[in-house]
Amino acid sequence: GAGVSQTPSNKVTEKGKYVELRCDPISGHTALYWYRQSLGQGPEFLIYFQGTGAADDSGLPNDRFFAVRPEGSVSTLKIQRTERGDSAVYLCASSKESSAGELFFGEGSRLTVL
């Protein structure tokens, strides 16, 4: 499709496990963002990529969270030693440029940590 694609759409895991969430942005979009949306909250910024590099990872909550974008397209958000508090919808967005113009969001990956 032409939109931002995120997989899996739903992930249930046990506390302490490792999780990977994938984002396939719109073709040609150089900027990619990860946000986290907890129940009853607005999205919260996690990390921003311009091309292959993480230009700003200041929103990552701790060192259990890491994201990569090795070829400047697909990105993977990795969470180690998951905790129940990590349960949320993880949203990926992409845009043509880095000026927070129109962000196109995917449908999100809902993570549930039991």
Interface with another protein, residue 2, by CB under 8 A:
no
Among 60, 103, 111, 113, binds another protein (CB under 8 A): 103
Cα-only R_g, the chain? 13
What six digits make up the tokens of 62?
């701790």
CB of 40 to another protein, least distance (A): 7
Among 19, 21, 26, 43, binds another protein (CB under 8 A): 43
Residue 17 or 100: the one with the smaller Cβ distance to another protein is: 100
Closest C-alpha among 109, 97, 112 to residue 50: 97
Is residue 36 within 8 Å of residue 43, measured between CB atoms?
yes
Interface with another protein, residue 90, by CB under 8 A:
no
